[in-house]
Amino acid sequence: MQYYIRIDNRNVYVSEEIYKLYCKGERKERYFRESDIHNKTFYYNALDTEDFNGCDLFQDTRSKPVDEQAEEALERSLLFEAMKDLDPREKDIIRRIYCYDQSLRQISRETGIPVTTLHYRHGKILRKLRSLMA
């Protein structure tokens, strides 16, 4: 396969290595800058000064940083996978506590299981989930 680059409206044939280097270099950057100008693309860093980062104007202060969001999503997926390995009674206890916001006393009244037993099982289930997620 022959490679060429366009210089002064002429195609100049070059080796593959030179072609790849050329594409990665200044010419490609210039192409993207020109494309941005043509498409009227605006970058927030155009508002940067020595004392101020222009991107800070548009920062969402209510949302968590992206790395924290990604970490939480990963932990959530690990938790869902670990939950699959619990038996139905263990899943029921965890769902009642964390999904339905029930206290151990409420669960005890509904299931007839003593509160101390539920407390022990809850701790045991959490340890099991931690080991499955590790």
Tokens 């340890």: give the residue: 127
- For 67, other C-beta atoms within 10 Å of its C-beta total 8
pLDDT band at 20 (very low <50, low <70, confident <90, very high): confident
Element at 103 (helix H, strand E): none
Q: What is the CATH number of domain 64-131?
A: 1.10.10.10
Separation of alpha carbons 62 and 65, rounded Å: 10
Q: Which CA distances in Å does 7 have to 4, 27, 34, 68, 111?
A: 9, 11, 17, 47, 81
Its pTM stands at: 0.52
Query: What confidence tens digit (pLDDT) does each residue in 47-100 have?
Result: 777 787 777 777 677 778 888 889 999 999 999 999 999 999 999 999 999 999
Domain boundaries, the chain: 2-55, 64-131
